[in-house]
A and B are shown apart, each in its own frame.
Chain A
């Protein structure tokens, strides 16, 4: 059973805000450009091409609960209320109770399974969405939305972002509900045509293809390119993070893409295999050892424990590299989970 909002243990924020700066502005300034852009875009209303809007909201909400992200879960809960979901409907989703609608139930189960990935989801789980009534494109978009939530949940959890209490309180009062009617527009998802100029070429292209052709897939493409070209961590370290997460999740396609990338960086495939078999510290640099040790914790975790580990990483490798590592791990968990639904 996934945890409920009040059951999640959450620590103090990872970063101490600098004096005379608003927490949001301060945080985004400290992130590297690709991560800053990604985090900024998470606040935009969802653009959906194929899937029903309410199922996108539900899948994001359920994934955030499953990942026990106090920040995203609380925010998604408030936004669902502002969007018109009743408390009882939300509780039913949280407890997986009374979900009479077969498609909704299927989407909830799929979102939970993909977010948790233990045991690993597979192509048949996505096919079950199609069997329940979604189009192929809509099923891909739901999968992409779940892994988008996994990215947001990880970044927020690793940073231990303080819950947005003002937003969470908004739907609880009459005045808040009235404000919500106006604010609702700010959060409301909308249907848009699939991106016209979206060319899925670059690192992890085969994995991103699993997201289909929709705005989230285009977002993932841009995010992955930005991550891959960021200079704050060596490219080999980034690809090792991807390889370790893919191996841990049993995501063969993603591991292959990481291995191909490492080969281009000068690490032959057999050396990558030997390294992944034992994670021997002798085969890695000091930085890689520290990153890989922390990366392993990012696949399945309790928020409080991973926040403590991230704090330790920050002390070991410094702020810039730690922030880059947490963004990398969040994205690699996203890609590796997405690749699982192709298997």
Chain B
């Protein structure tokens, strides 16, 4: 007789246990669904942020930052070519034009120049007022970064000519630029604080490229390269030697070359 209540007691305890366990399982499932939804939402948010960020930095860089590439944060020494481009007399030009027209002109110019640079394996790393700094060979291996930079400069010249045609048709003044190119070893990586970082290259190469760009105003010619650049170009470009010029930070005058064009027999083979 005493076994029946005992069995009933066991059954009740079992049912209670099952109930508790079932409730726990349901609660866990519910929590998992909520966490899953949050994770999906976070993934979508991250995706959106990555897309937004891609407008401010090269897509390859955004991917490497997202992947927490240690070489970016630790920096790496690389052989690169640095190209600086600057618009001539743009400050004066901007003072006599409507601000909206100035911005519109500048954005059109950046769009055309960025396309020319990217189509030759370059990355625009910084826009400074009306200036552009771009680097070739910093984000991926590129054994031909020097040639690419010079071909990009020629492509930029052609793009600017086309852009000027559209400005003329809109009754706006034409633009003119100077481009300076130098190559050598730099340190590439992320610099800045936790709240604001940028990918950049550091070293004398950057300073020299910038000074060479400034030389275009003194020496004439829109595209100038250093002798280091010329020495690795082979025979594919027509160039003219410029008189040696003093530049800030260098004890000896710098020899530069004005790039006129591709060698005619190569023009049909090389896409600029």
Q: Which A residues are closer than 8 A to B by beta carbons? A: 1, 95, 97, 118-120, 247-250, 276-282, 286, 289-290, 293, 296, 300
Q: Chain A nearest CB: distance from B102 CB in Å? A: 32
A residues in contact with B47, CB < 8 Å: 1
With A1-B67, A95-B43, A97-B39 in contact, is A278–B144 under 8 Å at CB?
Answer: yes
Q: Chain B nearest CB: distance from A112 CB in Å? A: 9
Q: Chain B nearest CB: distance from A239 CB in Å? A: 17
Asked whether, in the complex, the Cβ of B143 is within 8 Å of the Cβ of A281, the reply is no
B239-272 contacts to A, CB under 8 A, are 263, 265-266, 269-271
Q: Chain B nearest CB: distance from A106 CB in Å? A: 16
Asked whether, in the complex, the Cβ of A248 is within 8 Å of the Cβ of B142, the reply is yes
A95 to B60, CA, bound (A): 17
Can you name 26 A-B pairs with beta carbons within 8 Å?
A1-B47, A1-B67, A95-B43, A118-B140, A118-B141, A120-B141, A248-B141, A248-B143, A250-B141, A277-B143, A277-B232, A277-B234, A278-B147, A278-B233, A278-B234, A279-B144, A280-B234, A280-B235, A281-B265, A281-B270, A282-B236, A286-B269, A289-B269, A289-B270, A293-B271, A300-B140
Interface of B (DSSP majority class): loop
Residue B100 CB within 8 A of the other chain: no
B residues in contact with A247, CB < 8 Å: 143
Which of chain A's residues has its CB closest to B267's CB?
A281
Asked whether, in the complex, the Cβ of A276 is within 8 Å of the Cβ of B143, the reply is yes
Interface of A (DSSP majority class): helix
Interface size on B, residues (CB 8 A): 28
13 A-B pairs besides A1-B63, A279-B147, A296-B121 with CB distance below 8 A are A1-B47, A1-B67, A95-B43, A118-B141, A119-B71, A120-B141, A248-B141, A277-B143, A280-B235, A280-B236, A293-B269, A296-B144, A300-B140
A residues in contact with B144, CB < 8 Å: 278-279, 296
Residue B50 CB within 8 A of the other chain: yes
Residue B1 CB within 8 A of the other chain: no
